[in-house]
């Protein structure tokens, strides 16, 4: 089960999991985006279903998961990838924007885990993977509410990992640096019309490796962390950042 599986990193994770034989269920607010991922997975011979769901609404999440369980009887993997962004420091973050970021990036992760954890306990185990960010670990200019939300994702991950380690449930998170997704292209087009290539190069250069990550690279790490080969890994945050955290000083 993948929240936000219709675009960006979530789309890449959905596609790779489907390619590798998982029965993929996508929880996505944008029904058309989720449907196109389902179609792509089906063309490759995989199985996927799309579920229109607002992860910020706990009852919607519960109802959606109950529908999935009625068909599948269990949920082996939960990937929480749904998220929204915001550019601005503290003074540039009005309450409405703060609440929007919190409701999706923090409460959305809580809602998905809260509605799934009982099933994983009852079935004897499972794997949870949350999408954090390098912003959870280092200060990034003009990312005040986004950093707040990803810090919460990191600490929720650690808490769940500790509380459920005896229940055969693993919980980890991934912390990407900048990833080239449609959000980046939209951000540049909106804020730097006519200068998109220039600003893209500048943003890419903030990673010591000299480029942004590809969504498929994040998906490959997600696949490993949700696989049996990663069975000894829990309570970990995995930066995938082109050297951003350690090599930028």
Whole-number pLDDT of residue 71: 94
Burial 117-136 (b: 16+ CB within 10 A, else e): bebbeeeeebbbbbbbbbbb
84: left (phi over 0), alpha (psi -120 to 50) or beta: beta
Q: In what order do the strands lie in the sheet with 77-80?
A: 47-52, 23-28, 2-3, 77-80, 126-131, 169-176, 237-240
225, pLDDT greater than 90: yes
Whether the CB-CB separation of 150 and 135 falls below 8 Å is answered with yes
Please calculate the CA angle 191-192-196 and round it to the nearest 5 degrees: 130
* pTM of the predicted protein model: 0.95
The confidence score (pLDDT) of residue 248 equals 80
Instruction: Please give the average per-residue pLDDT across 216-224, as a whole number.
Output: 98
Mean pLDDT over 139-145 rounds to: 92
What is each CA distance from 241 to 43, 65, 208, 227, 245, in whole angstroms? Answer: 32, 32, 9, 21, 7
Predicted local confidence at residue 183, as pLDDT: 83
At 15-45, the pLDDT tens digits run 999 999 999 999 999 999 999 999 999 999 9
| Residue-wise pLDDT tens digits, 44-85 | 999 999 999 999 999 999 999 999 999 999 999 999 999 998
> Whole-number mean pLDDT of the chain?
96
What local confidence, expressed as pLDDT, does residue 37 receive?
Answer: 97
pLDDT at residue 249, rounded to an integer: 60
Active-site positions read 146
Residue 190 pLDDT > 90, yes or no? no
Beta-carbon contacts of 246 under 8 Å, excluding residues fewer than 6 positions away, are none
> Can you give the C-alpha Rg of the chain in angstroms?
18
Q: Is the pLDDT of residue 191 over 90?
A: no
| Mean pLDDT value across residues 92-119 | 97
User: What is the percent of the chain where pLDDT is above 90?
Assistant: 92
Identify the three-state secondary structure at position 249: coil
CATH number for the segment(s) 2-177+213-244: 3.40.50.720
pLDDT above 70: percentage of residues in the chain: 100
Give the mean pLDDT of 207-214. 95
């Amino acid at each position: 089960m993948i929240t936000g599986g219709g675009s960006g990193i979530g789309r890449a994770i959905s596609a790779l999991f489907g390619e590798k034989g998982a029965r993929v269920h996508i929880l996505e607010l944008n029904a058309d985006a989720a449907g196109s991922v389902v179609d792509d997975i089906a063309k490759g011979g995989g199985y996927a279903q799309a579920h229109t769901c607002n992860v910020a609404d706990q009852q919607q999440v519960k109802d959606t998961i109950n529908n999935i369980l009625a068909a599948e009887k269990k949920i082996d993997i939960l990937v929480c990838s749904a998220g929204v962004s915001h550019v601005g420091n503290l003074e540039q973050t009005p309450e409405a924007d703060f609440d929007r970021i919190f409701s999706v990036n923090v409460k959305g992760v809580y809602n998905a885990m809260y509605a799934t954890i009982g099933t994983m306990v009852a079935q004897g185990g499972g794997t949870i993977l949350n999408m954090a960010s390098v912003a959870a670990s280092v200060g990034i200019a003009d990312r005040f509410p986004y950093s707040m939300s990803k810090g919460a994702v990191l600490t929720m991950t650690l808490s769940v990992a500790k509380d459920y380690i005896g229940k055969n449930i693993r919980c980890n998170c991934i912390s990407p640096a900048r990833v080239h997704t449609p959000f980046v292209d939209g951000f540049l087009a909106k804020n730097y019309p006519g200068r998109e290539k220039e600003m893209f190069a500048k943003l890419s250069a903030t990673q010591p490796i000299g480029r942004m990550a590809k969504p498929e690279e994040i998906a490959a790490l997600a696949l490993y962390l949700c696989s049996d080969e990663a069975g000894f890994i829990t309570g970990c945050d995995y930066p995938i950042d082109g050297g951003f955290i350690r090599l930028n000083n």
